[in-house]
Amino acid sequence: MVKELPPLETMELSPGLEICRIINGMWQVAGGHGVIDSDDAISEMIKYHNAGFTTWDMADIYGPSETFFGAFRKRFNENNLEKSLAFTKFVPSPGPMTKSIVEYYIDESRKRMNVESIDLLQFHWWDYDDSRYLDALRNLECLCDEGKIKYLGLTNFNTNKIQVMIDDGINLISNQVQYSILDQRPEIKMVPFCQENGIKLLSYGTLLGGFLSEKYLGVSEPTRMDLDTSSLQKYKNMIDHWGGWTLFQDLLVVLNEIAQKHNSSIANISTRFILDKPMVCGVIIGTRLGISEHRSDNSKVFGISLNDSDYSKIKSVTVKSNDLYHVLGDCGDEYR
């Protein structure tokens, strides 16, 4: 008899915006993760939606991600689209951020996504020395007032810069940050700040691009030639900063023991660990549409309840690691 999967968890990111707590990440369709066939991708998106994974995270710089979402909406039964949520990012090159410039780019995203209003627009800015990010945010708020955007959030801003925005009167509901068993930097400044200001966190990098899995348990340290996706290349650097391959193997051994106890996977335990953190509303897990899928395994996350013993075992390894806040700085500082 096949064991029934637990129901998917949802949570309010903001009043009236209820999301699936595992969010489908679409960075993987941007290139560097294998060739994605558009028809296969859209068919897979329908399967994700039907399985209850109805929240999508994309960006204007993630290749055809927004176009795929628009095609998904056109192909799918219109009556079933009301639960499908479209999060995208506005990632402009630093420069003038007039109303007409900002509106042009948001309108282009809306057209590609085939939506009247973007459910959550997440803003990213590359250069903190260029204060015109505040102009962009003010104009994005105008577009919220006009109904082209429902909610406004951020991607990879540090705590100090978000304080500047709050002081400027910008209304924000979320910040998307890297957050994993290895990278717990958000707990230093970001989480307390978000608790004080009612801002939720959306987590990415939680599975280290696939490193947090049985596939890498007990194997020799991969060379750069072995890392065949952009995600693996990115997060191997994170492992190196954190403490290196030997310590990472110690962590995988512990996570595997916990996973076996819960009849789950290393990825499940790693995801549950972050979902249980204060202010985390959802975890973004990458979807290599048409190449691989993990819907059934991801669903098991919602049947797991970690206990004090599990947390103690994990901490027995992580306490030996480097302080990534000291090495990399606050959330998102590694991008500047």
Count Cβ neighbours within 10 Å for each residue of 208-226 and write b for 16 or more, e otherwise: bbbbbbeebeeeeeeeeee
Q: Report if residue 203 sits inside a domain.
A: yes
Confidence band of 320 (pLDDT split at 50, 70, 90): very high
- The sign of the dihedral angle between the CA atoms of 307, 313, 314, 316 is positive
Instruction: Please report, as a single letter, which amino acid is at residue 169.
Output: G
Model's pTM, two decimal places?
0.93
Q: Report if residue 241 sits inside a domain.
A: no
Q: Report if residue 119 sits inside a domain.
A: yes
Q: Report if residue 336 sits inside a domain.
A: no
Domain span at residue 140?
Answer: 10-208+277-304
State in Å, rounded, how far the first CA of the chain is from the last one.
52
pLDDT digits (tens, 9 = 90+) for 257-269: 999 999 999 999 9
pLDDT digits (tens, 9 = 90+) for 234-258: 999 999 999 999 999 999 999 999 9
Whether residue 30 has pLDDT greater than 90: no
Mean pLDDT of the chain: 93
Whether residue 189 has pLDDT greater than 50: yes
Confidence band of 293 (pLDDT split at 50, 70, 90): low
CATH of the domain at 285: 3.20.20.100
pLDDT of residue 1: 40
Query: Any residues with CB less than 8 A from the CB of 105 and at least 6 apart, and which?
Result: 60, 90, 92
Whether residue 2 has pLDDT greater than 60: no
Q: Report if residue 256 sits inside a domain.
A: no
Confidence band of 292 (pLDDT split at 50, 70, 90): low
pLDDT of residue 6: 78
Spatial separation of the C-alpha atoms in residues 65 and 129, rounded to whole Å: 30
Cα dihedral 117/125/284/205 (nearest 10): 170
pLDDT digits (tens, 9 = 90+) for 42-53: 888 888 888 899
pLDDT digits (tens, 9 = 90+) for 203-214: 999 999 999 999
Whether residue 148 has pLDDT greater than 60: yes
Spatial separation of the C-alpha atoms in residues 112 and 60, rounded to whole Å: 9
**C-alpha R_g of the chain:** 19
Number of domains in the chain: 1
- Does residue 270 contact residue 207 with C-beta atoms inside 8 Å? yes
Whether residue 202 has pLDDT greater than 70: yes
List Cα–Cα distances, 292 to 25, 44, 88, 264, 289, in angstroms.
13, 10, 22, 19, 6
The three-state secondary structure class of 34 is coil
Q: Report if residue 312 sits inside a domain.
A: no
pLDDT of residue 146: 98
Top pLDDT among 91 and 81 is at 91
pLDDT of residue 289: 67
Least Cα distance to 11 among 54, 42, 49, 48 occurs for: 54
Structure tokens at 146: 């006009």
Q: Report if residue 236 sits inside a domain.
A: no
Q: Report if residue 40 sits inside a domain.
A: yes
